[in-house]
Amino acid sequence: MKDRMKVSSYPIKNKQHAGSMESCEKRSRARRYATPLSAVLLFSSIKVFGLAVLALWSHTQEKSAVRLLSQRWDSLWYVRVAEHGYDFTLKAQDGRELSSKAFFPLLPWLERGVSAVGLTPSQAGLLVSAVASIFAALGLFHLGRHLHSPQAGTLLVCLWASLPVAIVQSMAYSESLFVALAAWSLYFLLQDRWVVAASLACAAGLTRPVGVALGLAICVHAFTRLRHVDNKGKILASCALSLAGASTYILWVGVQQGNFLGYLDVQEEWGNGFDFGYSFALFIGELASPSPIIASLFLIVLIAITTAPHLLMYIQGYPLPLIVYSAVVASMAMGASGYFGSKPRLLIPAFPLLLLIAVTLSRSAKPYLWIAPLAVTSALYGAFWLNGSGPP
């Protein structure tokens, strides 16, 4: 049964490639390093390099790299939740009431728990993020190995670590924690380990709003599997559990606000909403021309960019739950009407898109050739970005 759920049963795996004996030997040497330990070591090396570049860059700006990682923007709000619960609000200069209820609770809960050993909540946030990023790397490796090959899993880890905004993975933010939960949830889901996958999805739903993407992926998988299994009650219960985290918190905020849709009101005060990408397209279009026609063209391009990779995944035979998860994450990121500079960060959980690249690279004679320049670019951009004025 497990074999049917693997992409390995589709054309993207075990495809024979013509090549010289030398190329085969190079690929064989590369595969020897495709292990969980090597993936974690490569990931850690990329992260350490990025942090070293950040430290040097910050030193030239007379700033503290540790402070930039742990006490800026959203990380401050997570600390406020850890220290004060959800009673903290801040009055913006334009009169908006910014509430800490916009931030999901799992990371601040962990910060509060870890700080009990003598760390400050911000230090605890860095520790949680660091540990979670390692588990995320392991989850991505196992997912890539399950879907294609150990080498694809290792390359997936390296690509994720080398994203332009990958510095966020080292900040006291919730991205690393969420991706760790999401990657392992999908991995167990593709093996029909329903309860474990749903439990991790529930935890992810308490981490970020996009946790609903995991719940939807599990529900779609359940819909395709119900007719083939006997224990339908277990599967249906797993569907409910997978959506329980995000829905429970959103409903709780609604009760606190005295409005069923209170969470949307909280997000509106922060300037966040969802308009299917129209605001983003308008923002990009106005950089080129104030014409609404130009904005409409950018919207069409935006939809195409979001849709095309998932269509390709479907054509190549990737499991439907993986496609659903990635499509929902990408749609929520690109369709959001909030701060446009945050969109690259919001796409960090859309790691299945990187699997397309990882699989392609794994078939080359020198699959790791591009990792070093990507890591250098990521480190430089991350240091520049974090030392800038705008939030990620």
Provide the 3-class DSSP secondary structure of residue 91.
strand
Phi first, then psi: give them for residue 202, nearest 5 degrees.
-60, -45
pLDDT at 306: 78
pLDDT given at position 4: 39
- Rounded to whole angstroms, the Cα distance separating 321 from 220 reads 6
pLDDT > 70 fraction of the chain, expressed in percent and rounded = 83
pLDDT confidence band for 17 (50 / 70 / 90): very low
d(Cα 302, Cα 76) in Å, to the nearest integer?
Answer: 32
pLDDT band for 374, please (50, 70, 90 cuts).
very high
Q: What sign for the dihedral angle of Cα 86, 88, 93, 95?
A: positive
Q: At what angle do helices 150-161 and 36-60 cross, to 10 degrees?
A: 10
Q: Would you place residue 91 in the very low, low, confident or very high pLDDT band (cuts 50, 70, 90)?
A: confident
Distance CA 368, CA 371 (A): 5
Cβ–Cβ under 8 Å, residues 375 and 36: no
Q: What is residue 285's predicted lDDT score, i.e. its pLDDT?
A: 61
CA-nearest of 325, 305, 140, 158 to 242 is 325
- Residue 210 pLDDT grade (very low, low, confident, very high; cuts 50, 70, 90): very high
pLDDT in tens, 240-267: 999 999 999 999 999 999 998 899 999 9
Q: What is the mean pLDDT of residues 182-186?
A: 98
pTM here is 0.89
b/e for 96-118, b at 16 or more Cβ within 10 A?
eebbbbbbbbbbbbbbbebbeee
Averaged pLDDT score across all residues of the chain: 86
**Coil, strand, or helix at residue 367?**
coil
Phi, psi for 92 (deg, rounded to 5): -75, 160
pLDDT given for residue 130 in this prediction:
97
